[in-house]
Amino acid sequence: VPVFLFVAAPYIRRYVAGGRCKSTARLEGKVVIITGANTGIGKETARDLAQRGKVILACRDTAKAEAAASEIRAETGNQQVIVKKLDLADTKSIREFAEKFLAEEKELHILINNAGVMLCPYSKTADGFEMHLGVNHLGHFLLTFLLLECLKQSAPARIVNVSSLAHHGGRIRFHDLHGEKSYNRGLAYCHSKLANVLFTRELARRLQGKFQRQAGFTANALHPGSVSSELVRHSFVMTWLWKIFSFFLKTPCEGAQTSIYCAVAEELESVTGQYFSDCQPAYVSPRGRDDETAKKLWSVSCELLGIQWD
């Protein structure tokens, strides 16, 4: 068995690594925002895109983000790797980030909604939203809303939402969105990832309806794979399992490939409302294809955030 594993190891690793983004597209003169880009797949996405154009790391922990940005600048030689404060668990911070960005930048071509929390003990955001729903869905929903006009005017533009295979285990519990009646942190994560898929679907539908003549304004979602990252830090058991089975997990660089693919691949220029994994289209759960739930979630999200987004 040890000999077999030794011989098979490279093949297993190649399988685990999955698809790679082969696009060499340049992003000169273009602006990219990546949320949660100070660690994990967000940082690796930033590292790749910084070799192509200007990247803004939108992060809660600015000290960590500055360290990541400094490392990326030194490696790529690109000084246009900039850190901006963004706390997705606080709508005030989201609004301040958007206001400053719009005052400083004229265009935005790629928005990668990457940041996320996973397996948090029950807690709420500054605005009283359950943490998974608040950060993973509502925070990015509001951020996208605030930056949409800039994206629209900069088209061709892309919105990339990092979801997960975990959306298959999710459901939108409108009767208990904030988990006050019952809460399971694993399911709460699944629910928020399903919300990402539904948001992408409804956003793409609305963009097509309003700007169908404006080619290249797209929104897609993706599953990055099972990645060895800090995302499981809230669970001792998962952290332990992640260490034991790290050989069978993607590295952050491998996990970033589908985000990069959705952001730059030429063949996706007019592809919208889709869900990808390993740099190719992937199966979406029936709940993730429910247009009525997507429309209702959109409406409820606007209500919770106090915005009008028609």
Which residues have a catalytic role annotated?
Answer: 189
Location of structure tokens 């955001």: 125
The CA angle 261-112-29, to the nearest 5 degrees, is 80
Q: Positive or negative CA dihedral for 137, 203, 143, 161?
A: positive
Residue type at 30 in one-letter notation: K
| DSSP 8-state symbol, 183 | -
Cα distances (angstroms) measured from residue 226 to each of 12, 17, 41, 199, 250: 14, 10, 11, 22, 6
Let me know if 120 is exposed, middle or buried by CB neighbors in 10 A (0-12, 13-18, 19+): middle
| Dist CA 169 CA 26 (whole Å) | 37
Residues 6+ apart with CB under 8 A from 196: 113, 136, 137, 140, 161, 162, 163, 164, 167, 221
| DSSP 8-state symbol, 160 | E
Distance of CA 149 to the CA centre of its chain: 20
**Residue 309, phi then psi, degrees to nearest 5:** -130, 90
What's the chain's Rg over C-alpha atoms? 19
The upper half-sphere exposure of residue 284, i.e. CA atoms within 13 Å in the direction of its Cβ, equals 24
